[in-house]
Chains A and B, each alone.
Chain A
Amino acid sequence: MEIGPILRALWHNKLGAMLIAVQIAVTMTVIINAIFIINERSRLMARPSGLEEANLFHLTSVGYGDDFNEQVTSDDDLNMLRQLPGVVNATAVNAIPVSGSGSSTGVRIDMDDRTANVGTAIYRVDEQVFDTLGLNFIAGEGFDVTDMRYRSSAGTTDADKVVMTEALAAILFPDLTPNEVIGETLYTDQVTALQIVGIVERLQAPWPSWENVESSVLIPEQFLDTYSLYVVRTEPGQRDQVMRAAEDLLAGSGADRVIRGVNSLEQTRSETYGADSALSSILKTVVVTLVFINSMGIVGLAVFSINKRRKQIGTRRALGASKFEILRYFLLENLLITTVGVLVGAVLTIALSIVLTTNFNMPAMAWYYAPLGALALIAIGQLAALGPSVRATTITPATATRTV
Chain B
Amino acid sequence: MLQMNNVSKVFRTDTVQTSALKDFSLTVDEGEFVTITGPSGCGKTTFLNIAGLLETYTSGTYLLDGVDVSQLGDFQRARLRNEKIGFIFQSFNLMPDLNLFDNVDVPLRYRGMKASERKPLIENALESVGLASRMKHLPAQLSGGQQQRVAIARALVGSPLFLLADEPTGNLDSNTALGVMELLQEINDKGTTIIMVTHDQLLAKQSQRNIHILDGRISTGDQAEALAPAAEVA
Contacts and interface: CB of A to CB of B under 8 A. Distances in A.
Interface residues of A, number: 27
A317 interface: yes
A400 B55 contact: no
Interface string A315-331: 11111111111000000
Interface stretch (A5-13, A30-38, A78-86, A156-164): A5-13
Interface in A12-29: 12-13
Given A317-B78, A401-B45, A312 B54 contact: no
Given A5-B105, A9-B98, A401-B45, A315 B78 contact: no
Contacts of A316: 106, 110
B105 A321 contact: no
B87 interface: yes
A12 B97 contact: yes
Interface stretch (B27-35, B88-96, B121-129, B182-190): B88-96
Q: Is the interface of A mostly helix, strand, loop or mixed?
A: helix
A8 B74 contact: no
A319 B79 CA distance: 9
Given A397-B81, A398-B49, A321 B54 contact: no
B101 to A, nearest CB: 9
B209 interface: no
B23 interface: no
Interface string B6-47: 000000000000000000000000000000000000000100
Contacts of B81: 318-320, 397
A320 B79 CA distance: 6
A311 B54 CA distance: 13
Contacts of B55: 396-398
A372 to B, nearest CB: 34
A318 B94 CA distance: 12
Contacts, number: 87
Contact of B87 (A4, A318, A321): A318
A403 B90 contact: yes
A95 B54 CA distance: 82
A144 interface: no
A2 interface: yes
B150 to A, nearest CB: 13
B5 to A, nearest CB: 22
A315 to B, nearest CB: 4
Contacts of B52: 318, 397
Contacts of A8: 97-99, 102
Contacts of B102: 4-5, 8-9
Given A9-B95, A13-B97, A320-B82, A400 B107 contact: no
Interface of A: 2, 4-5, 8-10, 12-13, 311-312, 315-325, 396-398, 400-401, 403
13 contacts: A9-B97, A12-B97, A13-B97, A312-B95, A315-B93, A317-B54, A317-B78, A319-B107, A320-B82, A397-B54, A401-B49, A401-B90, A401-B166
Given A320-B111, A397-B81, 17 more contacts: A2-B109, A5-B98, A5-B105, A8-B99, A9-B95, A312-B95, A317-B78, A318-B81, A320-B79, A322-B79, A323-B75, A397-B53, A397-B78, A400-B93, A401-B48, A401-B166, A403-B90
4 nearest A-B pairs in the assembled complex, by CB-CB distance: A320-B82, A9-B97, A320-B110, A315-B93
